[in-house]
Chain A
Amino acid sequence: MSENATHITEYKTLGIVLVTLLFFTLITIVVTSFDLAVWNVVLALVIAGTKGFLVVTYFMHIKYESLLLKILVGMVFFLFALILVITFIDYAYR
């Protein structure tokens, strides 16, 4: 069975991650309540990205998975970013 066993994440780790996530949620609500023009979107997305990173890394155990899986996850997000950028080559210059 050893081959099929995976890393066990401790309750405490999961708890800390949750508290961090809740903290970030609070921050994002507070920050976006001020009018910072374009920076509102940037900050909101950076915070959401950080939260997403925490979820993927700890809740979804990607930290303890094989290098292959880490690369694949990165690739998917990179690919999505690429499609978005290329789409905007049209919309930004129209």
Chain B
Amino acid sequence: MENELIHKEETRDDTAAKLGMWIFIFTELLLFGGLFIVYSVFRTQYSREFHQAALELNVTIGAFNTIVLLISSMTIAMALTALQKNNKKLSLRLIGITILMAFVFLVNKYFEWGAKFHHGIYPGSELMMKFEHGHLLYFSLYFFMTGLHALHIIAGMVLLSVIFFRIKKGIIHSEKYVFLENGALYWHLVDLIWIFLFPLLYLIT
């Protein structure tokens, strides 16, 4: 075992780890890509209903969440810079802020969804079943896309928390930070998808 460990240390290949992460990101992009295909098809078929349905969303909440995610994306990028510069304390603080931002995003989302639920708009609800076709499809897409995105936010929070403790313990450090780099890549992906979701769902009025 001892020998094997040393051996692994020798052959450590950060480029491979990063390439693997990027390929994983490709699969995530195409996963959402499938949803964007469905969106485009229905958007062209029911553009009038989509415009009207989008009026029911609150642009301010959406914009606020966009800003939150953009800032968190920067803080996680800075956390990497900080670790590379061997500033562990700053790095930890920045990751903490990122996780906090993610939490703010989710709370915001919770209230946004909660308000819709309160008005009887949720997938499979009686009210939604009575909607015009385009209207129904818009809200189905809205819940599906933002729901799947929220799941990714949660996954990202878990990942970043693991990284946070690993940095604290010194497993990830200024000489060996590819795990943080990959975690950050994942977080940027979540941000990247939101950048497209926001105008497509909120700004088509």
Contacts and interface: CB of A to CB of B under 8 A. Distances in A.
A80 B29 contact: yes
A45 B195 CA distance: 10
Most buried by B among A29, A45, A69: A29
Q: Name the prevailing secondary structure of the B interface residues.
A: helix
Contact of A60 (B85, B185, B200, B204): B185
A11 interface: yes
B33 A83 contact: yes
A22 B22 contact: no
Contacts of B78: 11, 14
Contacts of B196: 48, 52
Q: How large is the interface on A (under 10, 10 to 19, 20 to 34, 35 or more residues)?
A: 35 or more
Contact of A32 (B13, B70, B188, B205): B205
A59 B18 CA distance: 14
A91 B41 contact: yes
Q: Name the prevailing secondary structure of the A interface residues.
A: helix
B41 A32 contact: no
Interface in A55-89: 55-56, 58-61, 65-66, 69, 72-73, 76-77, 80, 83-84, 87-88
A46 B29 CA distance: 18
A52 B192 CA distance: 6
Contact of A87 (B37, B175, B205): B37
B67 A25 contact: yes
Contacts of B184: 59
Interface of A: 1, 3-4, 6, 8-11, 14-15, 17-18, 21-22, 25, 28-29, 32-33, 40-41, 44-45, 47-48, 51-52, 55-56, 58-61, 65-66, 69, 72-73, 76-77, 80, 83-84, 87-88, 91-92
Given A22-B70, A44-B199, 8 more contacts: A15-B74, A18-B73, A45-B199, A48-B195, A60-B188, A72-B26, A76-B29, A80-B33
Interface of B: 12-15, 18-19, 22-23, 26, 29-30, 33, 36-37, 40-41, 44-45, 59, 63, 66-67, 70-71, 73-74, 77-78, 80-81, 84-85, 175-176, 178, 181, 184-185, 188, 191-192, 195-196, 198-200, 203-205
